[in-house]
Structure formats: C-alpha cells, structure tokens
Amino acid sequence: MRRFVVNGNVMADGEGNLAYIVAEIGANHQGNIEKCKEIVRMAIKSGVDAVKMQKRNNKEMFHSSVYNSPYENENSFGATYGEHREKLDWFGEEEYLQIMDIACEGKIHCFATPFDFDSLYFCREMNFPVIKIASCDLKNTALISEASKGNASMIISTGGGKIEDIERAYRLATVKKKECEVALLHCVSKYPNSDNISLKQIDMLKHKFPDSIIGFSSHHPGLLPIYVAYCHGARIFEVHVTLNRANKGTDNPFSLEEGGLSKLCEDIRRIPEMEKVRTICDDGFVRKFGKAIYTKRDIKSGQRITGDDICLRAPADNDELPIYIWWNRLKSGKLTAKLDIYGNTLLTRSMIAKEYR
C-alpha cells in the first residue's frame, strides 16, 4: 500500500486522500528567531502538518572561494556570501528547541533539510522525525546513505535529476528504510517557478515507485499547481511560507502568507469530499423545477388519454411515469384512465388502465 509513515503514524495515503502539508520556512525568518517562531505559529494556525527548516554548516559546505566572495545585492545580509549565509543560518540547539516546543504545542512535526554531514548529525541529535534531502543533493549518495541510517523517515526532492538519479537515491534510501518511510517530491528547481513545472512527472514517479508516496515541492506564487498536483496523485505538499511577501529575501516573493496558506490547507482537505461518488439527489432544484406528467382537465374512467388531456408541469414529484417512456405513449391515445381523474392532477401508474394495440 502506498503511504508515508512518520513515527509509526500514516501521514499520507496514496490509496486514500490523506495529505501531508509541510510549511518550508527556509530563510524567510531573516535570521531572527522571534520572527521564525511567529512564522511557526502562523503555520500552525493555518492548519499545516509540519514546519521545515534548513540547516547548514556553511564553512564545511562551501568552498572558500564562494564563502569569501562578495555578495552585494538587494537581498544580501552580509558583504560576502559567507557573511550572508551565517546571518541567516546561525540557529543552534537552543533556537531549534524553542521552535520544536512551539511545533509540539501545536501538535505538528518540526524537521529540517541538512545540507552537509554536520547538519545531518545535528538533525539526528535533535531527533527530527523526518529528514529532507534537497534537490541539490539528489546525486549526493554519501549524504543520502548516511541519512538512511537513522530512525527518521525521509523525503527526497527530485528537481534537476534524471530518472536514473532518482532511482539511485531511492535505492540507497530504502536499503535501511521501508518504502513507506521514503517519499519522493516532484520538484522543478527554479525559484520562483513559472507555469512550466511538468506536473505530469508525478504520474511517471507514481508508476516507477508504486510503493512510495509521491509529492510536490512548489516554488510557484499561486495555489493552482498544488491542486493540479493533488489530482495527479501527489499527497505531500511542501510550500514556502512567510509573514510578508514584501520582506527582504529571495524566497519571500513566491512564499504563501497566512491567507494563502490557510486556504491551501482548507482546500486540500475539502477535495476528498468533492471527489466522492454519491447517489443522485433529487431534492431542491431538481425536484422544484423538474417536470412530471399532469392532467390538463378532468378525465373519466375508461376514457382514452390524448395529448389534449396532459401537460408537463413542475414540480417533478415522482419518477413513476418517466417522461422519456410515457409522454409519447400517453399522447398516442392508446392508454385509458382506470378511474376518474381530476384536472391538474399528477398522473401515476395506478391511474392508467390498459393500452390499445
């Protein structure tokens, strides 16, 4: 059965309709722990299932030529790229514990994407229930292999990868994990996305990996791609969130504010109800304005019924004499009244005696 399990609990069900909504905070907290906690509270209020951070040891991750390179633009938080990243990525154990406490109070998961080994070990020490592998590390077999050894479930983004890269990463992850503990996210690693986001890839991933949940990591400023992804079978949704799209930072413009995030969470959980196949309901409009066969005038017992004796009127109070069967037969004059029938009366089968050949 296709499902995604976290700490023994089913969070997404590919055979059913249970979806797992993850709010990606990223660097939208701008290096401010109080702002980060405010975003977490907003995400909880909106109805998400999890919040996700990003964890880096920037000096380990970046070559010195990149770390020390000048970084001067409207979104810069430091004179060099290293200074910029350190300003955004400085949260340590104390800060993460504060974030996790709020998430725990809100009864949602808190986890992170580690971008290097030190950060992976940090996530493990924090006992995160999920480890997210970013698209940039889809080919990082060393990191994926190490991540698979812990107790956490795994979500792997597939942006920028060929099918052989995705298959390799999945094989590595499932050496130590059950299939239900590894999920794959369709992702186009462009920030922000345009409408060219290849959502039919979800169908391909579902076919290639029949035992695992497939999801969608959205970098689109709108909600429509997420709904389309759901209809293709995605059941994990990762969306960037922010307090204000106008805030400084590269991710803020395509992130969801509280209104959009609340709408997403509500809508995703309404879809299953909309998809249910129901019996036809003939109350309300259908009955009130639908037509049935009525008499236009009095008809005596034994009298042949003709088109001059009947009419179609609302409401459609019964389906005993369906128009598509009885209208032409009654108009033909081959049927007689079994009893006296007053005008303006709804015809029923018991009022009709026999048919003349």
> What count of other Cβ atoms lies within 10 Å of the Cβ of residue 22?
25
Q: What is the tens place of the pLDDT at every residue in 33-61?
A: 999 999 999 999 999 999 999 999 999 99
| More confident of the two residues 97 and 317 | 97
**pLDDT reported for residue 232:** 95
Q: How confident is the model at residue 17 (pLDDT cuts 50, 70, 90)?
A: confident
CB under 8 Å to 14, separation ≥6 — which residues? Answer: 1, 2, 3, 206, 213, 214, 233, 235
* Topology agreement, domain 3-275 and domain 285-355: no
Q: 302, 353 in Cβ contact below 8 A?
A: yes
> What count of other Cβ atoms lies within 10 Å of the Cβ of residue 162?
11
Q: What is the tens place of the pLDDT at every residue in 218-246?
A: 989 899 999 999 999 999 999 999 999 99
Residues 262, 147: Cα–Cα separation, whole Å: 32
Q: What is the tens place of the pLDDT at every residue in 136-176?
A: 999 999 999 999 999 999 999 999 899 999 999 999 999 99
Sequence ranges of the domains in the chain: 3-275, 285-355
Q: What is the tens place of the pLDDT at every residue in 325-356?
A: 999 999 988 899 999 999 999 999 999 986 65
Whether domain 285-355 has CATH 3.40.50.1220: the reply is no
User: What whole-number percentage of the chain has pLDDT above 90?
Assistant: 85
How far is residue 125 CA from its own chain's centroid?
Answer: 31
**Closest C-alpha to 237, from 303, 165, 183:** 183
The CB-side HSE value for 350 (13 A sphere, CA atoms) comes to 2
> What count of other Cβ atoms lies within 10 Å of the Cβ of residue 314?
12
β-bridge mates for residue 335, sequence order? 305, 355
CB under 8 Å to 39, separation ≥6 — which residues? Answer: 23, 25, 28, 29, 51, 241, 242, 243
The CB-side HSE value for 159 (13 A sphere, CA atoms) comes to 17
Residue bearing tokens 């938080």: 77
- Of 87-91, 161-165, 319-323, the poorest mean pLDDT is in 319-323
Q: Which value, in Å, is the radius of gyration of the alpha carbons in the chain?
A: 31
Whether domain 3-275 has CATH 3.40.50.150: the reply is no
Q: 136, 113 in Cβ contact below 8 A?
A: no
Q: How confident is the model at residue 357 (pLDDT cuts 50, 70, 90)?
A: very low
Q: How confident is the model at residue 196 (pLDDT cuts 50, 70, 90)?
A: confident
Write down the pTM of the prediction: 0.86
- The bridge status of strand 109-114 relative to strand 153-157 is unpaired
**pLDDT reported for residue 282:** 59
Q: What is the tens place of the pLDDT at every residue in 265-313?
A: 999 999 988 888 776 665 688 888 999 999 999 999 999 999 999 999 9
Residues 34, 56: Cα–Cα separation, whole Å: 20
**Closest C-alpha to 142, from 113, 168, 179:** 168
Residues 194, 69: Cα–Cα separation, whole Å: 29
* Token duo for residue 19: 């979806």
Burial group, residue 184, by CB count within 10 angstroms (0-12, 13-18, 19+): buried
Prior bond to 192 cis, omega within 30?
Answer: yes
| More confident of the two residues 277 and 186 | 186
Give me the phi and psi of 127, to 5 degrees please. 60, 40
